[in-house]
Amino acid sequence: MTRKKIVAATGCPTGIAHTFMAAEALKKAAEKMDIDIKVETHGQVGIENGLTEKDIRDADGVIIAADKDVNTDRFHGKRLVEVPVARGIRSPEDLINQIVGEVAPIHKVKGNESTSTAASGREESDSAKAGSSKNWVHAIYKNLMNGVSHMLPFVVGGGVLIAISFLFGIHSANPDHDSYNAFAAFLNSIGGLAFSFMVPILAAFIAESIAKRPGMVLGFVGGLLADQGGAGFLGGIIAGFAAGYIIILLQTLLKRLPKSLDGLKSIFLYPVIGILLIGAIMTPLMAPVEALNTGLMDFLSTVQSTNPLILGVIVGAMCGFDMGGPFNKAAYLTGTALLTEGNLYFMAGVSAACIAPPLIIAFATVFFRRNFTKEEQNAGLVNFVLGSTHITEGAIPFAAKNPVVVIPIIMFGSSIAAVLTYTFGVQVPAPHGGFLVLPVVTGAIQWVFSILVGSLIAAVIYGFYRKKVAKNQPVEE
């Protein structure tokens, strides 16, 4: 009997952890089920182990476990399962079974008449129904995260350089101040330049996810308008989606033009008409979005100073709930947006809450070694490194084994870390880096103390839970 062949693509916004964890989970499940699989990863360094036309042609189906655009057009005519990247980590066998059992719908690309699969009329009808009822929330999230994944290197690189410049003094980049330092000014200038691309890049790649390259052009222009008009992060998101759907509209309106004018449409009509339209849409939106943006920032700043307990619990729960997923990213992006406004307090709590989950796991595997397998103990040690560098996703495999119990424990520990951080008034000027940015943290000792307290308390709770489980199910050596 011929072995089934499946191809897959995985990708997450940061392209660091979820991407490769999902790929590994799919490979392990396929090996266990005697299935041939090739997984293409869309990490921060780009596409690795790319799928060839032959790989796709020979495959019985395709699994997409991604929160970013991975170009699904090339899978026309194939059975396709498309889910968030977290599903690829949690339930890879279920995804594979949807392909093997031929329950996954046939993927159809609008305008592509060639079909590589002899699907029945019923299958095509089911596929159309599946396509029309596709989870639009995930589609919007995927487009948004495509923008975020391309934006993050600018934010992290620029933000860390700005933070390093503060080592020479908070005003060391100001030529009129006594603490002025030429090298610090250089770092601040270069970092600020990289940071200034945040909103245009975000908008450009949201639009690119929706409408490919023509959308990217409009998104970049819309993002620049939002940035220069004071609409900031929220304006960039609006510009990105508006730009993408403007191109979709233009493609619909101009589709009756002769095929010979396709080149003219791409190089002339789409950019000229599209840029005009995105300008017309964004210009009147600038003032209300700027007001909304300012109001949101002021509200968060007020809550942060008047009620750090509530804010810490909210931020900690969001960061610990899905560890790199939508809620975690919402808190992180809010912190990043506040950094651009000069608010260094909010990101301190977000960072603490993101660092805590892997440390919770790491400490638990050290203090309660007998209740973890050898493989889990090794993974726990790795989590010390991941947590220290602000990579939250290392806790996911442990949480996935019993999310109902483990996730609340992680949320509790993250919340303690965030609450203490806000209570101490810690300031973190860098959007990423974990303990690597300690030299530029104001209140570094209090920050580390907050993280360790939250991590250790939750680690003990998690350890006792594992001890209880081990009594009923002895751990295999």
What is the pLDDT at residue 395? 80
- Report, as residue numbers or ranges, the catalytic residues: 12
Asked which of 50-64, 207-221, 249-263 is least confident by mean pLDDT, the reply is 249-263
Q: Per residue in 45-70, pLDDT tens? A: 778 888 888 999 889 899 999 888 88
What is the pLDDT at residue 472? 66
Mean pLDDT of the chain, nearest integer? 82
Q: Which of 137, 184, 136, 138 is nearest to 164 (CA)?
A: 184
Q: Per residue in 100-139, pLDDT tens? A: 888 888 888 765 544 333 333 333 334 333 444 446 777 8
Asked which of 176-180, 223-227, 268-272, 422-426 is least confident by mean pLDDT, the reply is 176-180
What is the pLDDT at residue 123? 39
Q: Which structural domains are found in the chain, ordered by start?
A: 5-132 (3.40.50.2300), 137-294 (no CATH), 307-472 (no CATH)
The whole-number average pLDDT for the span 185-206 is: 89
Question: Distance between CA atoms of 443 and 451, rounded to whole angstroms?
Answer: 12
Q: Contact 39/26 with Cβ under 8 angstroms? A: yes
Residue type at position 178: D
What is the pLDDT at residue 129? 39
Higher pLDDT, 326 or 386: 386
> Distance of CA 106 to CAs 55, 56, 94, 129, Å?
17, 14, 17, 11
Q: Contact 6/37 with Cβ under 8 angstroms? A: yes
Other beta carbons within 10 Å of 102: 11
Q: Contact 463/367 with Cβ under 8 angstroms? A: yes
pLDDT band for 243, please (50, 70, 90 cuts).
very high
- Contacts of residue 112, defined as CB under 8 A and 6 or more positions apart, other chains included, come to 73, 76
Q: Are strands 36-43 and 5-11 parallel, antiparallel or unpaired?
A: parallel
Percent of residues, the chain, with pLDDT higher than 90: 22
The whole-number average pLDDT for the span 392-411 is: 82
What is the pLDDT at residue 119? 37
